[in-house]
């Protein structure tokens, strides 16, 4: 009887081990599938946005050679900027959920290039359409910061800008761009501002780097209305 008892106990142990390994394997496969699905979804969103931006850039170039309606150009630019902003929220959610963050870095870089082009396009529209009747709010932050103080600062900046966008709506174009991913075109664009930390640039004139100065952004926007 004793021999049978240990034999049964050993049999149960191996059954439990096989089940545990099977479940663990299924979990790994599902995790890989989920990560790949996220990456594919981000790639699809980016491809659509890239096409829309190219179309928008062509429209902007036409402002210089044809009698194109500036009001329509501004409207399309704002609509695209709002879509890119919403896409950024989706990307942020995926990044928080992902365990393989390095797989998303390249996608993030592509989006930051896209947002840099959006900023340049907005500048062209402002130049050719007498200011464009909108404000550009460019948020330059660090991607995946390790410093706790920096994380907290960026959280406050992000919350402030989200509330500002909800309040001001189409009067502002909000463009968040990670500044620490070695994007040469972005580095050249912000070189003249002397930016070394998380910052917000309003209408290419006001640079805010401190939490205590956030109110200056809303004050300047309100004063122009």
The two structure tokens encoding residue 190: 């912000």
Question: Residue 160: its pLDDT value, please?
Answer: 96
Question: Residue 89: its pLDDT value, please?
Answer: 80
Helix pair angle (70-97, 2-62), 10° resolution: 170
What are the tens digits of pLDDT across the range 15-37?
666 666 667 666 565 555 555 66
In the chain, where do the E strands start and end? 135-141, 172-178, 199-202, 206-208
Altogether, the residues listed in the chain come to a count of 225
Question: Residue 50: its pLDDT value, please?
Answer: 72
Question: Residue 206: its pLDDT value, please?
Answer: 95
Helices (H) and strands (E) in the chain, counts: 6, 4
The two structure tokens encoding residue 12: 């149960």
What are the tens digits of pLDDT across the range 109-145?
888 888 898 898 899 888 888 877 899 999 999 988 8
pLDDT beneath 50: ranges in the chain = 1-3, 5-6
Question: Residue 75: its pLDDT value, please?
Answer: 87
Question: Residue 1: its pLDDT value, please?
Answer: 46
């Amino acid at each position: 009887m004793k021999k049978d008892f240990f034999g049964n106990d050993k049999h149960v142990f191996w059954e439990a081990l096989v089940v545990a390994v099977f479940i663990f394997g299924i979990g790994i496969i599902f995790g890989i599938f989920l990560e790949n699905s996220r990456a594919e979804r981000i790639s699809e969103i980016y491809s659509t946005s890239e096409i829309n931006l190219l179309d928008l850039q062509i429209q902007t170039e036409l402002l210089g050679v044809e009698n194109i309606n500036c009001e329509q150009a501004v409207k399309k630019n704002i609509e695209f900027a709002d879509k890119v902003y919403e896409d950024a929220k989706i990307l942020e959610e995926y990044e928080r959920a992902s365990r393989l963050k390095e797989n998303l870095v390249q996608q993030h870089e592509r989006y930051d290039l896209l947002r840099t082009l959006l900023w340049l396009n907005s500048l062209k529209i402002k130049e050719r359409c007498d200011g464009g009747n909108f404000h550009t709010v460019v948020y330059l932050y660090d991607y995946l910061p390790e410093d706790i103080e920096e994380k907290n600062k960026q959280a406050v900046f992000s919350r402030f800008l989200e509330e500002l966008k909800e309040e001001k709506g189409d009067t502002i174009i909000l463009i968040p761009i990670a500044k620490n991913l070695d994007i040469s075109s972005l580095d050249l664009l912000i070189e003249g501002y002397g930016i070394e930390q998380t910052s917000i640039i309003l209408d290419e004139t006001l640079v805010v780097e401190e939490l205590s100065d956030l109110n200056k952004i809303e004050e300047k926007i309100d004063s122009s209305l």
